[in-house]
Chains A and B, each alone.
Chain A
Amino acid sequence: MLIEQLINGITLGSIYAIVALGFTLVFGVLGIINMAHGEIFMFGAFIGVVVTATFKGPLWLAFLAAILVTAAMGYMLERFALRPLRSKQGVSHLAPLISTIGVSILLENLSHHLFGPGNHPFRASFAEISFQIGSITVYLVQIVIFIISVLLMYALSFWLGKTKAGKALRATAENLETASLLGVDVKRTITMTVIIASAMGGIAGILVGMAFNSVTPQMGLSIGLKGLAIIILGGMGNVKGAMAGGLILGLAETFVVVYGNSGYKDAIAFVAIIVILLIRPQGLFGQKISA
């Protein structure tokens, strides 16, 4: 029982971690909280539903389609909602936040019209396959989700740490102007960051669809808000913090459902951020920044 719940928590947590990574990348580079990330994630999940359920396509095709569509959405987001604000002088620092809230509202209601408001089942061909290890039941889906998340996180860490583009991204995150002076194509780096973050959201969307077997237009909001909570928990713009924060939240929610009141599951994330911002505003893994 305990170990099963632990596995459930880790599965949920690794999905949260991927969602949070999308937030944290954009925040790290642009200093912007992308409120539309949850909705892009939800679109990824719906693309998965459309490919696997409506067109009876294979799962890899669903992943590919979701990545392409969400990457395109990421580009549009950057091009139409974020870039016009960057070139302007004297725009309040809240403007990009409000602008992405606009995108999130637009996308949520667009999906209402495109896919309908109801609950869409997500049929992965191996959803019912499970293993029995002693008294513990482990579903294949959970293992797949976990492996994909770990691979994704590893790939992202490698890309950020070792490749030229990743270094350019980190330099831009450090200081936009200096990076630009040192020959980094800042505009391209920013666009790329938003696209990669969105594509990761798309992948996470399919994983959630697989894990919970349900996709609704409202899921973007709730997961998006949780992703937000996680990056605050782990420290804004901190990649490792986002991963750890995701796992912590996933485990906490699972155990509240098991040992407490499941209705309050969705409140944990927010109680956590309110507490963490008041006690340790730099996040659990963040470094103290002197103002």
Chain B
Amino acid sequence: MLAELINPYHLQVASFILINIILGVSIYITLSTGQLSLANAGFMGIGAYTSALLTLNFDLPIIVGILAGTLMAGLFGIIIGIPTLRLQGVYLAIVTLGFGEVIRVIFVNWESLTKGAVGLSGIPHMGREILKTLKGFGFDPKVFGLQNNQFVFLTIFLLLLVITISIIMFFRRQNRSRVGRAFAAIKLDEKAAESMGINITYYKVLAFAQGALVAGFAGTLFAHVLAYISPADFAYHRAVEILIFAVFGGSEVIWGPVFGALFLTVMPEVLRFISEYRYMIYGLIIIIMMAVRPQGLIDVNILNWIKLKTSKRRQKHGTSSQKSM
């Protein structure tokens, strides 16, 4: 029964949706202080390569690789963040774009370490490693009536789901905290925020580093889910793709990029004939969204409207159930 429902391919797509959602969150964090960073693809690459190289060359467990990759990306985020915070708006966008491009060039050219444009293959696969460990304890997926392959993709999906939900919950809570209010104040008016006693340098670097950390984390997951990475995975197109999640879904609330990532990853899979024209459609989406709805599909108003609808329905249900009692 369960075995028939589980299609490894669908689970694979679902896993990529979750990774893209994490990437969408990463650009949302920097955007929530009003900074547009296009370096997230580069940070993702740093995370992916760090983790892949550590696990490949030193046989470290995946979890160590993931932690190291994430921290490495976060470290780069701080290093890049501190000097670039002197820049604003368009300049910041260009420098971060340039940073991403430099990272890509380094990946391509440092052949002794990264194998150049060919990329790294045979990276330890997260699901298979888990299965191997479990089998060591005498576990067999047949207990659930699953084949090895199905079990592998199911574990990855569930693991990513838990991770993604925790990340979203964390940043939702952060938004309501002192840090989140500082971010929002900086986004509205930097000078006013500063005169209110907010240390804008600290909070901007914090947002930048958090974005890098999350992007790097997504990169490490990407490496261990796909088991193959190449510099092209982290180039300009990836940066733009991440940007589109936020542009399309909206960057005012965290659900915007989440929805954007979900919708834009599912769309080319569902509409097969579209997937060839995927980037052309992306381009059109950006142009149209900017002209018609620059804040993205999901903004605070929409969110309130949805809340109102659901609470009304709940009220109705509530009264009807009372009557029946």
Contact = CB atoms under 8 A, between A and B. Distances in A.
Interface of A: 33, 80-81, 84-85, 88, 91-99, 101-110, 113, 221, 225, 228-229, 232, 261, 263-264, 266-267, 269-271, 273-274, 277-278, 281
Given A81-B290, A278-B83, A281-B86, A105 B283 contact: yes
B95 A274 contact: yes
Contact of A267 (B36, B102, B291): B102
Kindly list the 6 A-B residue pairs having the minimum CB-CB distance in the complex, ordered from nearest.
Answer: A102-B286, A106-B283, A270-B98, A263-B109, A84-B291, A105-B283
A277 B95 contact: yes
Query: Number of contact residues on B: which range applies?
Result: 35 or more
Given A91-B294, A229-B98, A98 B247 contact: yes
A107 B98 CA distance: 21
Given A94-B90, A101-B240, A264-B105, 4 more contacts: A106-B280, A228-B97, A263-B108, A281-B91
Contacts of A84: 290-292
A225 B109 CA distance: 19
A80 B279 contact: no
Interface of B: 36, 83-84, 86-87, 89-91, 93-95, 97-99, 101-102, 105-106, 108-109, 236-237, 240, 243, 247, 277, 279-280, 282-287, 290-292, 294
A44 B250 CA distance: 34
Nearest to B241: A105
A273 B294 contact: no
A94 B279 contact: no
Given A80-B291, A277-B95, A105 B279 contact: yes
B57 to A, nearest CB: 22
Identify whether the interface residues of A are mostly helix, strand, loop, or mixed. Answer: helix
B291 A105 contact: no
Given A105-B279, A278-B86, A273 B94 contact: yes
Interface centre among A102, A108, A270 (most CB of B within 10 A): A102
A93 B89 contact: yes
Contacts of B91: 232, 277, 281
Given A105-B279, A273-B94, A94 B36 contact: yes
A273 B285 contact: no
B282 A105 contact: yes
Contacts of A229: 98
Given A274-B99, A277-B95, A278-B86, A102 B290 contact: yes
Contact of B280 (A94, A101, A109, A228): A109
8 contacts: A33-B93, A80-B287, A93-B90, A102-B282, A106-B283, A106-B287, A221-B236, A270-B102
A269 B86 CA distance: 20
B94 A105 contact: no
A101 B289 CA distance: 12
B89 A94 contact: yes
A61 B247 CA distance: 41
Given A102-B283, A105-B283, A88 B294 contact: yes
B283 A228 contact: no
